Structure formats: C-alpha cells, structure tokens
Amino acid sequence: MITNQWYLVCFENELEKGKILKRKIIGEELVIFKTQNGSVAVLQDRCCHRNVHLSLGYVKGEHIKCGYHGWEFGTTGKCEHIPSLPPDEKIPKAACIKSYDVVVKYKAVWAYFGDPEKKAATEIPPFHELSKWPMVYNYHVVKGNIQLAAESLFDSHHINHVHRKSIKTLMGNLHHQKPDYHLSITNTSLKGWYLRDNENSILEKIYFGFDEKVETHFAFWFPNSSKLHLHFPAHLTMPARQMVIYEHFYQIDEENVMMIQITAWHQIFQYTPWFAKWFMLKKSMKIVEEDIAFLESNKYWHSKEKLNDLLIKPDELTFEFTKLWNKNLKQNASTTYQKEATEL
Ligand code: FES
Ligand SMILES: [Fe+2]
C-alpha cells in the first residue's frame, strides 16, 4: 500500500450536513462527515470504546455520535461527551479516534495518509480545471493491478483499440510508430504532449474542427493521479474548446483498486449544459468500462526482464512511466509509517 500521500476521499457535493460517508483507502476504513457549522472531518471508522463501526452512528451538531453507547467525538477524533459518564468521573484520556488531515480543494475532499513529518513535502495533484469548469465523476471498483490502472489513461496506443467504439475518432488516431511525446519528467511526475491524426466523422469535424491534428496533453503524478487534456481550436463560429479527463486511483485493499474518473470541459455544448453533462457522463462511463475489461484480465505480470524485452520503441511512455513508478515505489517502501493502534 502506498502511503505518505494525499488521497481523494470524496467530492464536496457528496457531503451533506449530518450525512456520513464510508470509504476504504489503502486498507484503512474511514468515515467522512460535515458538521452543522460546515467543518469536514475524516476519522477512522472504529469507535475506540468497543471497536464497532462509527459509521453506524450519526452526526449531531459538531460531533459524530457512536450508535452503540452514544459517545461523541469531535472532528479531531477526541471524545468530548459520554452520556453515561457520572459527574465525578472524567472522559478517559485515551478516548480518541484516529483522525486524518483534511483539505477541501478542486471541489473534492483530500485526506493525508502517512508519516506526518512527510506531509509538508507532499502535494495534492493539481486538478485545477475542476475548480472552474463543469464536471462529472464516477467511481469504479476494479479487481486488477494498481500499476496497470495508473498507466491506463495516458497509454497512447491503446485508444485505437480499446476505445475503437467510443473516443477513438474524437481523440484522433495514432498511425506513427513513435510520436514525439515532448516529455518532461520530475522525481514524482511526468507530462508531455503529442499530435494525433484527426479522423473525426464529418459531423464531429463540423463541431470540433477540420485541423489535421488533435493536440493531446497528458500527465501522471505518482502514485494516484493521471490526466488527459484535449484542445480543440476556435473554428467556424465556435470558440476554442477543451476537455480534460482525470483519473484518481488507489488500492482499497489487497484485491481491489478504486478508479475515480473525472471529466471536465470548457465551452463544449455551452448553450445546453444539461446535454453536456449527460453526454460527458455517458461517454466517460463507456470509456472506463472498456478499460476495466482489460485491467481485470491482467492477473499475472511477466518477470521484469521479460517485460523490458517486450517493449518496442513506441512504448516510450510505458518505459518512462515504469521507471518512475518503480523508483518511487522503492522509496515509499523504505519509509516507515506506523498505523496508530486503536486498542485501549
Ligand atoms: S462502542 Fe461506541 S460508544 Fe460504546
Ligand atoms: Fe483507456
């Protein structure tokens, strides 16, 4: 499990005052809730009193209240009220639940998992467009390998095949053996752009443009986020338009991977926002389903040596991604992260 990271636990519009959401991220069970005053908290989904699920309780004012004996916990996880406590007794010091640092950013709630000392040096992936553009999102649980899931969005050659019935034309085709990816690589991320051939249908060309090439930008931030960004230039009476697809992924547990796909757009179908939303959601559901069929079919990796032998020149992106992934995974494994014991 990859720690010392910010993970996206939910979207802001999923949180209603008084409502409890449940999640499991890198093996840790969580409750997420919004208090009466609007504070957002992420706590471990275990009441410290008798170790039952806190999510069986409810939110009351600024507290989450365990459904079993009614102990009440604040957003920091500290127990602040015990209904059955005699007046001459104090709340035990150890009556505390693990809490996670939370940031609300890009219309989403992010929680930090890991060594507190490493938090300052760890960044939330830059999902800038989500703050200003309309967007849709969907969650998918995949029985597959996290590394393959991480690579799947920006894998340039799979679009012609996996997505031949969905976005192949919109995204353009890739005939060249090896495009120029204009790669720039840092210690924890890679990004770049390349050109695909515009093979849109005539109707799509009327809307998206007759340019011969479609500019495709991509990025990956270790270990949990990737991005595809399409630019459609101004054309006829239409302004320049853009569309981004983000994918955020993490291991739920040893077997399952969560893939959250988020699509945001700018100036596309701007006069019919309801249609844009319906269209983007429908397309993005189809795209993820097409990917998942392949992700779930990958059960066993070849040995590393064999994998490298099978890379061909157009697999440059896979090659660079794999290098980055392995380097960071090694570093992450060498850091220690002590889960706080919840037993009293
Ligand atoms: S188990 Fe939660 S209050 Fe007793
Ligand atoms: Fe895909």
Does residue 172 share a domain with residue 83? no
Q: Tens of pLDDT along 117-175?
A: 999 989 999 999 999 999 999 999 999 889 989 998 888 888 888 988 887 777 777 87
Q: Which of 177, 157, 167, 329 is nearest to 261 (CA)?
A: 167
Residue ending a domain, choose from 59, 89, 119: 119
Domain CATH for 205: 3.90.380.10
**Could you tell me if residue 49 is inside a domain?**
yes
pLDDT attached to residue 335: 60
**Could you tell me if residue 342 is inside a domain?**
no
Does residue 144 share a domain with residue 105? no
Percent of the chain's residues with pLDDT above 70: 93
72-73 and 63-65 as β-strands: parallel, antiparallel, unpaired? Answer: antiparallel
Domain CATH for 21: 2.102.10.10
**Could you tell me if residue 272 is inside a domain?**
yes
Q: What does each C-alpha distance from 93 to 48, 79, 116 come to in angstroms?
A: 12, 9, 22
d(Cα 146, Cα 323) in Å, to the nearest integer?
15
Instruction: Judge if the beta carbon of residue 68 lies within 6 A of ligand 1.
Output: yes
Instruction: Judge if the beta carbon of residue 71 lies within 6 A of ligand 1.
Output: yes
Residue ending a domain, choose from 70, 99, 119: 119
Does residue 170 share a domain with residue 300? yes
Does residue 276 share a domain with residue 183? yes
Largest CA distance in the chain: 80
Does residue 300 share a domain with residue 268? yes
- The overall average pLDDT reported for the chain is 89
Distance 161 CA to ligand 1 centre (A): 53
Give the residue ranges of the chain where pLDDT is below 50: 336-344
Does residue 86 share a domain with residue 11? yes
Residue ending a domain, choose from 58, 85, 119: 119
Atom of ligand 1 nearest to the CA of 69: 3
Among protein residues, the one with the nearest Cα to ligand 1's atom 3 is: 69
Q: Residue 231: helix, strand or coil by DSSP?
A: strand
Instruction: Judge if the beta carbon of residue 1 lies within 6 A of ligand 1.
Output: no
**Could you tell me if residue 223 is inside a domain?**
yes
**What DSSP line would sit under 108-151, residue for residue?**
EEEEEES-HHHHTT------THHHHS-EEEEEEEE-S-HHHHHH
Does residue 266 share a domain with residue 211? yes
d(Cα 224, Cα 171) in Å, to the nearest integer?
23
| Ligand approaching nearest to the C-alpha of 47 | 1
Does residue 253 share a domain with residue 177? yes
| Ligand approaching nearest to the C-alpha of 55 | 1
**Could you tell me if residue 242 is inside a domain?**
yes
Q: Tens of pLDDT along 179-197?
A: 889 999 999 999 999 988 8
pLDDT attached to residue 274: 93
Among protein residues, the one with the nearest Cα to ligand 1's atom 4 is: 69
Q: Which of 53, 55, 68, 85 to mutate to test the pocket of ligand 1 (most atoms within 8 A of CB)?
A: 68
**Could you tell me if residue 335 is inside a domain?**
no
Query: How many domains does the chain contain in total?
Result: 2
**Could you tell me if residue 24 is inside a domain?**
yes
Does residue 229 share a domain with residue 87? no
Distance 88 CA to ligand 1 centre (A): 20
Residue 27's domain spans which residues? 5-119
Distance 152 CA to ligand 2 centre (A): 5
pLDDT attached to residue 176: 67
| Ligand approaching nearest to the C-alpha of 164 | 2
Are the CB atoms for 75 and 54 separated by under 8 Å? no
**Could you tell me if residue 341 is inside a domain?**
no
Instruction: Judge if the beta carbon of residue 46 lies within 6 A of ligand 1.
Output: no
Does residue 76 share a domain with residue 152? no
Query: Is the peptide bond prior to 86 cis by the omega test (within 30 degrees of 0)?
Result: no
**Model pTM above 0.75:** yes
pLDDT attached to residue 231: 87
Instruction: Judge if the beta carbon of residue 91 lies within 6 A of ligand 1.
Output: no
Distance 94 CA to ligand 1 centre (A): 14
Atom of ligand 1 nearest to the CA of 70: 3
